[in-house]
Amino acid sequence: MTKYQHHSNNKTTLTTVPKVRLYVERPEEKEKWFVNIGHVTERGRWRTEPHAHPEYGQVIFVRNGRGVMNLEGSSVPFEGPCVLLLPTECVHGLDYAVDVDRWVVTIEVAYLTQVNSKLHEFIQLWALPRMIPLSSATAAATEFFSLIKRLQLELESKAVGHVVGTEALLTSLLLILVRGTCLDRIDNEGATRNEIRLADRFRELIDQHYRQNLPLQDYASAMAVSLVQLRAACASATGQSPTKMIHARIITEAKRNLIFGDMSVEQIAFGLGFSDAAYFTRFFRKEVGQAPSQFRVTARDQPHRTK
């Protein structure tokens, strides 16, 4: 997500879409936190520029009010009661209208992974950023708010077993979202827990190495499994081949560069490990249906403000 910034002395430096470290992560805090809740009620309009959280997932419960989310370059309007689900690394900006009452639940990624392992649908839920309306089910919105308040009390109490209590309440929150979301239906009834873990570990390795154009065998070797096992795990747990999962990650990063950065298509191609910009263009067109330059123009023409 590299972006050029030009200065008056004609020198060019590289900046990136901000990777935000949240306010709860302070050097003076001795205790390691794993979940944090913030309640925000600014009276005026509030806007954040596109940024990402590399180590955290977020659940933003908009109890009242409306706004527009700039999600990976696309405009997503929202109106409370609703939930904005933001996985780690997704690039997002938020433009809240006046008087938006919102609760922000921030979850450390290792702890989120632990909770997600309880149910495969949790992994599916966090696979994509989402806007989940709760207005059609008043009972669900009321229950969600009640759980948010109980979660806040549990975290503040530091009572015996508060970690276990927090996990139980967080699991309940995610279960409401799973039940209120149309997830991609994958025939994963036959997927074993080991296959789900393998697919999740493969995703982590893809995030670390997708720019390097590694052969599948290198991924399999790093996971101490055979290619047959890797392909079977990905197909069973995600409904995709390992190659398709790698391609999807490359396309996500390419889109971010095209929308938020000022690099040329050739520079983006080289940054993603392609030795030939023309091949990158063919690859992008095949996966997205547009050439990179066309995608950039279309994406940047979209409005990202509330009316």
State the amino acid at position 116 in one-letter form: N
Q: Are 303 and 67 in contact (CB under 8 A)?
A: no
The answer to whether 141 and 134 have CB atoms below 8 angstroms apart is yes
pLDDT classification of 303: cutoffs 50, 70, 90: low
Backbone φ/ψ region at 58: left (φ over 0), alpha (ψ -120 to 50), beta: beta
- List, for residues 28-68, the tens digit of each pLDDT value: 444 567 899 988 876 667 888 888 887 889 999 999 889 99
**What angle do helix axes 292-300 and 242-260 make, rounded to 10 degrees?**
50
3-class SS of residue 139 = helix
pLDDT of residue 230: 92
From the number of C-beta atoms within 10 Å of its C-beta (0-12, 13-18, 19+), residue 240 rates as middle
Mean pLDDT within 298-304: 68
The secondary structure of residue 128, as a DSSP letter, is S
State how far the Cα of 21 lies from the Cα of 206, in Å rounded to an integer: 23
Looking at this protein, which amino acid is placed at residue 118?
K
Tokens describing residue 242? 């390992």
Model confidence over 217-247: pLDDT tens digits?
Answer: 999 999 999 999 999 988 888 888 999 999 9
Residue 283 has pLDDT above 70, yes or no: yes
Backbone angles phi, psi at 177, to 5 degrees: -70, -40
State residue 18's pLDDT score: 54
* Upstream peptide bond of 18 is cis (omega within 30 degrees of 0): no
Report the predicted TM-score, pTM, of the whole model to 2 decimal places: 0.72
The helix (H) or strand (E) run that includes residue 282 is helix 277-288
The residue-averaged pLDDT of 131-138 equals 76
Contact 207, 249 (CB under 8 A): yes
**Comma-separated ranges of CATH 2.60.120.280 domains in the chain:** 2-179
Highest mean pLDDT among 41-45, 137-141, 160-164, 211-215: 211-215
CB 37 within 8 A of CB 97: no
User: Which residue type sits at 135?
Assistant: S
Say which residues have a Cβ less than 8 Å from residue 17's Cβ, sequence separation at least 6.
1, 3, 50, 51, 52, 91, 256, 260, 261
pLDDT at 43: 66
pLDDT > 70 fraction of the chain, expressed in percent and rounded = 82
**CB proximity list for 277: less than 8 A, separation 6 or greater:** 265, 266, 269, 270
pLDDT over 50 (residue 138): yes
H/E stretch holding 104: strand 101-108
pLDDT band, very low/low/confident/very high, at 109 (cuts 50, 70, 90):
confident
Query: Would you state the pLDDT for residue 17?
Result: 53
Name the class of domain 193-300: mainly alpha
The CATH number of domain 2-179, selected from 3.90.76.10, 3.30.420.40, 2.60.120.280, 3.10.20.30: 2.60.120.280
pLDDT tens digits, 164-207: 899 999 999 999 998 888 765 544 555 677 888 888 889 889 98
CATH 1.10.10.60 maps onto the chain at: 193-300
CA distance 204 to 249: 11
User: In this predicted model, which residue has the larger pLDDT, 123 or 276?
Assistant: 276
As a whole number of angstroms, the distance between CA 92 and CA 79 comes to 17
Confidence of residue 92 (pLDDT cuts 50, 70, 90): confident
Q: Any long-range contacts for 109-114 (C-beta under 8 Å, 24+ apart)? A: 109/55, 109/56, 109/57, 110/34, 111/34, 111/35, 112/57, 112/88, 113/200, 114/167
Which of 275, 270, 274, 265 has its CA nearest to residue 296?
265
- 3 state DSSP class of 44: coil
